Structure 1
Amino acid sequence: MINRAVLTGRLTRDVDLRYTPSGAAVGNFTLAVDRQFTNQNNEREADFINCVIWRKSAENFANFTHKGALVGIDGRIQTRNYENQQGQRVYVTEVVVENFALLEPRSANNNNAGNSNNGGNNNAPTGNAPQNTNPFGDPKTNGAANNNQNNGNNQADPFANNGDSIDISDDDLPF
C-alpha cells in the first residue's frame, strides 16, 4: 500500500504548537496550495490542507516558520474521528508531516514575523554604512573578522584562523 503526500504551499497562520500530557510536541497548521488551473474568472484557487507534525520536528518547524512562509512537506494522509461536545461524530482528514523543507530564506518574509532588523537581512545596507557581508563577524566592526582582502572585494573571510572568536546565536543555526 502507498500513502504519500508531497505538498508545496504557504502557511495560512503561525504553527499552533502544543504539548501532549506526556510531553510530546505537536504542531497543527494549514497549508494553502495553489491549484494548477484558473477558474472561469481567470483566478487561481487554492486548497487549504490541514497538517500535523510531531515531536522535535514540530518544535523546529514552529521556530523556523511563520504565517506566509513557503514550505514543502512530505508525509502521509490520515483520517481520524472523534465525538464532539454535542455528541456528534466529527471526521478529520490531515497530512501527518514526516519531512519538511523551508523553501525561501528567512529574511524573505520576516516582516510578517514582526522582526524589525532590516527585515532580518544581515546584508542590507543602511544609510552610508559599509555593507555587512559577513553574518558571523563582530558587529562592532560591521562584520569584518579581519582586514584580509578576498578576491579584490572588501569581504572578510569568516573562516580565517586569526584567533578571534565567532559569535553565533541560535537564530543563525539551521536546527
Structure 2
Amino acid sequence: MARFNKVILVGRLTREPECRTFSTGGKVAKFGFAVSNRKKNTQTGQWEDEPMFIDCEAFNRGEYGKLADTIEKFCHKGSQILVDGRLHLDTWDDKTSGQKRQKHKIVVEEIQLLDARQDGPGGGSAGGRSSGYSGGSVDNYDDSGPGASPASGGHGSDDIPF
C-alpha cells in the first residue's frame, strides 16, 4: 500500500503564534488554524459556514530552515495563509483521569502568506521544499491589483467564505 500524508489548507490563524527555542538552537512555532466548509441549511435554504479548528506546529529545520521564524515575524491572529504539511497524531495520558487522549495536528512544511502587504496587494510564500528554501521569501507578490492571487499560482480570496 502506498504511503502518502499531505494536507493543503487555506484558513486563518485563531491565535498569535507561540514560539519556543530549544537548547540545540532549533525553534518551533505553534498556532491555531481555522478552515471553513460551506453547507446548505436544508431548513432555511441558506449557505452556512462550518468551521474546523486545527492545531499546527512549524519548525526551523536544516541549514536554511527558518519557517518558525517566518511565522513568528509575519503571521498574526487573523492572518490568512495556505498551509502545506502532514497530519500527525499526538497521544498522551490525561493527568486528571489517567485516560489515553489523542488529537490530530498539522506539522507545517510550507506556508504561503495570502494577506495583502501593508505597502501593496498580494501574498507570498515562505518555507518548504518546493522552493528549495525553508526561510521563505515574503516578496513574491503579483502586482496585478487589489485582491490579486499569489504569484505562486494560488487563487484569489474572493471565493473564500471567511
Q: TM-score range by the shorter chain?
A: 0.5 to 0.7
Instruction: Report the equivalent of 1:10.
Output: 12
Kindly report which structure 2 residues correspond to 1:12-161, keeping only aligned pairs within 5 A, or say none.
12-40=14-42, 42=46, 43-55=48-60, 56-86=66-96, 87-107=98-118, 121=119
Distance 1:54 1:101 in 2: 15
Distance 1:8 1:30 in 2: 13
Paired amino acid for 1:104: D
Structure 1 length normalisation: TM-score? 0.57
Q: CA deviation at 1:32?
A: 1.0
Paired amino acid for 1:92: K
Q: CA deviation at 1:38?
A: 3.8
What CA deviation, in whole Å up to 9, does each residue of 1:32-58 have, x standing for no partner? 111032445532121111111111201
* Structure with greater Cα Rg: 1
Residue aligned with 2:24, SS = coil
Structure 2 length normalisation: TM-score? 0.61
Distance of aligned partners of 1:106 and 1:88 in 2 relative to their CA distance in 1, 3 Å threshold: farther
Q: CA deviation at 1:88?
A: 3.1
Instruction: Report the equivalent of 2:153.
Output: none
Distance 1:80 1:66 in 2: 24
Distance of aligned partners of 1:78 and 1:38 in 2 relative to their CA distance in 1, 3 Å threshold: same
Kindly report which structure 2 residues correspond to 1:156-175, keeping only aligned pairs within 5 A, or say none.
174=138
Distance 1:97 1:68 in 2: 18
Figure out how many residues of one structure are paired with residues of the other and give that number. Answer: 113
Instruction: Report the equivalent of 2:157.
Output: none
Distance 1:37 1:21 in 2: 46
Paired amino acid for 1:95: I
Range that drifts further, 47-56 or 21-30: 21-30
Q: CA RMSD in A?
A: 2.3
Moved over 6 A (4+): none
Residue aligned with 1:106, SS = coil
Distance 1:27 1:38 in 2: 36
